[in-house]
Amino acid sequence: MRNAIIISCGAYAPQRVIPNRYFDDLLGEDVSTWLEENVQIFERRWCSNEESTADLAEQAAKQALERAELGAEALDLIILATDTPEYISPSTAAVLQHRLGAKNAGTFDVNTACAGFVTALDIGAKYIRADEQYKNVLVIGAYAMSKYLNLADKKTVTLFADGAGAVVLQAQETDNRGFLASELISKGEYNGWMGIYAGGAAKPTDAEVLSAHEHQLKFVKKFPKELNPEIWTQMALNLCNRTDTRPEEVERFFITQININAIYETLDRLDISKEKGHTIMHHYGYTGSACIPMAFNDAWEKGLLKKNDLVLFIGSGGGLAFASAAFRL
């Protein structure tokens, strides 16, 4: 069967390191202790004034292409997941296509907030399975949320960071490797609880909007603590049921990296060792749609993944949007 195989990966984070003590000084109180004890974030990376989402995506994409031993002209499609786009229009994927010289690739962006990469991975795999003209698909999660942070808002400014991760999907004839199953879930009733609520058609940015900080990321309401672990657990079980496997057969879980305790609770519910939940937020902060491919890249670079390993990707983000996918490497 023709299937989509992950043949390479890449990642990039800005050079500017922001340690927790930066926020102690900025906010005039000890936030380091809470960050380290409760979410295990010790530092993060923010873009320089000259960097933006397309810059991060470009670096991750180039690394993934180099590792795949592919020239950019071999790409048939570029799918870029972000909710911090280069522009409202045109797409960031179009900007990237031009920079890479991927003259044969179609492009589009996906915005399911922090579930974006897994959503894009699902789409890319199905393009390959459905249409034989798509042989090499570049899938990227990119995030430059530091551009949208209110530096006086303790709830957001200490958590969010910047980065990008990429994978190359390739069409191959195989009996048991590659894309296996996926699932998308939305809880649209939460759409007003967290987001960037200005800059679009509902609230074009003007002086009043700027003064209200509605052009920046806001937590409007606190989400139920159990929401992510419950849905992540069910999505993992659904993927295992559909692939005729058990959770203990999964080699690594790559889950949205906003709260390490939610990841651990999910693995506890699945009766799985915490070591199988690969995390990177400790030194990169919360990188939204980039966090899952960045974690995958980190595990790949550390030699923790090998051919035929079963891995699950589970993402969630504003909307609320949830996406999951099972791959055998």
Mean pLDDT throughout 109-117? 97
Q: What is the 3-state secondary structure (H, E, C) of the chain?
A: CEEEEEEEEEEECCCEEEEHHHHHHHHCCCCHHHHHHHHCCCEEEECCCCCCHHHHHHHHHHHHHHHHCCCHHHCCEEEEECCCCCCCCCCHHHHHHHHHCCCCCEEEEECECECHHHHHHHHHHHHHHHCCCCCEEEEEEEEEHHHHCCCCCHHHHCCECEEEEEEEEEEEECCCCEEEEEEEEECHHHCCCEECCCCCCCCCCCHHHHHCCCCCCEECCCCCCCHHHHHHHHHHHHHHHHHCCCHHHCCEEEECCCCHHHHHHHHHHCCCCHHHECCCHHHHCECHHHHHHHHHHHHHHCCCCCCCCEEEEEEEECCCEEEEEEEEC
Cα 56 → chain centroid: 13
Q: How many CB atoms lie within 10 A of CB 28?
A: 8
Length of the chain in terms of residues written: 329
Mean pLDDT throughout 203-230? 88
Contact indicator for 138, 107 with CB cutoff of 8 Å: no
pLDDT of residue 214: 85
Convert the pLDDT of each residue in 146-180 to its tens digit: 999 999 999 899 999 999 999 999 999 998 999 99
Convert the pLDDT of each residue in 259-299 to its tens digit: 899 999 999 999 999 999 999 999 999 999 999 999 999 99
Where residue 38 falls among pLDDT bands split at 50, 70, 90?
A: confident
Answer whether residue 186 shows pLDDT above 90.
Answer: yes
Mean pLDDT throughout 29-40? 92
Token pair of 293 as six digits: 């491919």
Taking alpha carbons only, the member of 321, 22, 316 closest to residue 154 is 22
pLDDT of residue 211: 82
The rounded mean pLDDT for the chain is: 96
Residue 27 vs residue 206, higher pLDDT: 27
Taking alpha carbons only, the member of 275, 277, 181 closest to residue 229 is 277
CA distance 43 to 20: 6
Rounded to 5°, the CA angle 218-108-314 comes to 55
pLDDT of residue 209: 84
pLDDT of residue 46: 98
Q: List the domains of the chain with CATH numbers.
A: 2-176 (3.40.47.10), 179-328 (3.40.47.10)
Q: Which one-letter amino acid corresponds to residue 205?
A: T
Answer whether residue 207 shows pLDDT above 90.
Answer: no
**What angle do the packed helices 260-269 and 227-243 form, to 10 degrees?**
50
pLDDT of residue 219: 86
pLDDT of residue 210: 84
Find the range with the poorest average confidence among 17-26, 107-116, 205-214. Answer: 205-214
Answer whether residue 212 shows pLDDT above 90.
Answer: no
Parallel, antiparallel, or unpaired for β 77-81 and 136-144? Answer: parallel
Could you tell me which residues are beta bridge partners of residue 72? Answer: none
N-term to C-term CA, the chain: 15
Taking alpha carbons only, the member of 8, 66, 69, 9 closest to residue 295 is 9
Q: Which one-letter amino acid corresponds to residue 19?
A: P
